[in-house]
Amino acid sequence: MLAAACGGIILLGAFRVAADADDKPAAEENVVTEVAVQTGKITSATLHGYVQGYGTIETAPATAGLPAAGAQLAAPSAGVVAKVNVIEGQQVSTGDVLVDLSSPATAAEVDRQKKLYAQQNTSLKSLQDAEAQLAMQQVVAPLSGTVARINVKPGQAVDLTTVVAEVMDLNRLAVSAEIPSAEAADLKSGIPVELLIKPPVTTHLLFVSPDVNKNNDTVLVRTLLPKDSGLRPGQFVSLRIVTAVHTNCLVAPSESVVTGESGKSVIVLVKGDEAAQTTVQAGLRENGWVEIAGPELKAGDVVVTVGAYGLPEKTKISVQNSLGDETSSTNSPSAK
């Protein structure tokens, strides 16, 4: 009987252990997982699409009614430099003689022929021949501007290939940039261009090349600079070309737009204390904001920012930031 009693006690203990083991999964199943997140709000804003690149400052090309703003001047004939009439940095006007290749006798002959012609003692052809001879022995400024470079000195022999001087109109400058051909489809003359300098300069696209440079697969674009831009030929500048402007579109903080398991863009809306995934179409991106479109989305909706990636549907969430700083980690939407 004692053995039977002991066996009963052992069996009863076994039943209790089994019961305790059965109760543990049930207790664990009732534990609610809560994920700490930060949030932001959907709002309405104006976003811009850009093509970015780097450009070089140079003198402006010829435009309707205006010659090119820079010129490298070659010797009009072979000879010896007799006199340099200007210095680098000097302001000159169209027609000013920069360099003489002749002796003063040639200029004196022109003056003599002019007097004789006025007295009707020489022919017009003789006067024109003297003037043509003088023109072949003078380097003349073709535009008003600044003497950027003098490459010769008196006594130096020159020929038709010698670049004697360079003149620039520093009030007429342009920026040339090479844009990857894959990004050039939306580029056209007249659209805004922003130079990312201090202070920033805004202008408009002047020219888009119809050809693709086969060496680097780029398209040449050019824009004119406003007068007194403060920039100098040869400088490199960062620029962006505005290719799209979407006004009053719905935008969300960029960290709230993530890629879901389906490969599509999703955001996680805050519904009470739960997460609700919503598929969206993502558009322009600017200053930490992403344009979004989706059913029943509206300005003011609260979305998960930090912690949004991989957050399962219906997950219980605990918001760690207050409603007053929900966008503290992002910039304000553009008001342009």
175 and 56, same structural domain?
yes
Q: Which of 127, 170, 165, 120 is nearest to 145 (CA)?
A: 170
* pLDDT tens, residue by residue, 318-336: 888 865 554 444 455 654 4
* pLDDT tens, residue by residue, 130-174: 666 666 678 999 999 999 999 999 999 988 899 999 999 999 999
83 and 157, same structural domain?
yes
Instruction: Give SS3 for 100.
Output: strand
Question: What pLDDT score was predicted for residue 11?
Answer: 37
The answer to whether position 198 is within a domain reads: yes
310: left (phi over 0), alpha (psi -120 to 50) or beta: left
190 and 54, same structural domain?
yes
163 and 85, same structural domain?
yes
The answer to whether position 67 is within a domain reads: no
Please tell me whether the overall predicted TM-score, pTM, comes out greater than 0.75 for this model.
no
Question: What is the mean pLDDT of the segment spanning 212-223?
Answer: 96
Q: Which of 245, 270, 288 delimits the end of a domain?
A: 245
Q: Is the pLDDT of residue 89 over 50?
A: yes
How distant, in Å, are the alpha carbons of 64, 98, 187, 224, 294 from that of 60?
12, 22, 20, 7, 47
299 and 278, same structural domain?
yes
- State the CATH number of the domain containing residue 42: 2.40.420.20
195 and 56, same structural domain?
yes
- State the CATH number of the domain containing residue 148: 2.40.50.100
Inter-helix orientation angle 104-118/124-135, to 10°: 160
Chain-centroid distance, C-alpha 272: 42
207 and 195, same structural domain?
yes
The Cα–Cα gap between 94 and 89 comes to 16
284 and 142, same structural domain?
no
The answer to whether position 159 is within a domain reads: yes
The answer to whether position 42 is within a domain reads: yes
Q: Which of 168, 191, 217 delimits the end of a domain?
A: 168
- State the CATH number of the domain containing residue 216: 2.40.30.170
For the record, the structure tokens of 94 come out as 């169209």
How distant, in Å, are the alpha carbons of 109, 287, 332 from that of 104?
9, 66, 70
Report the chain's mean pLDDT, rounded to a whole number.
85
The answer to whether position 334 is within a domain reads: no
Which domain does 265 fall in, by range?
A: 34-47+247-325
How many domains, in total, are found in the chain?
3
| Token pair 């072949």 in the structure block, residue | 136
* pLDDT tens, residue by residue, 101-111: 876 556 676 67
Three-state helix/strand/coil letters over 289-306: EEEEECCCCCCCCEEECC
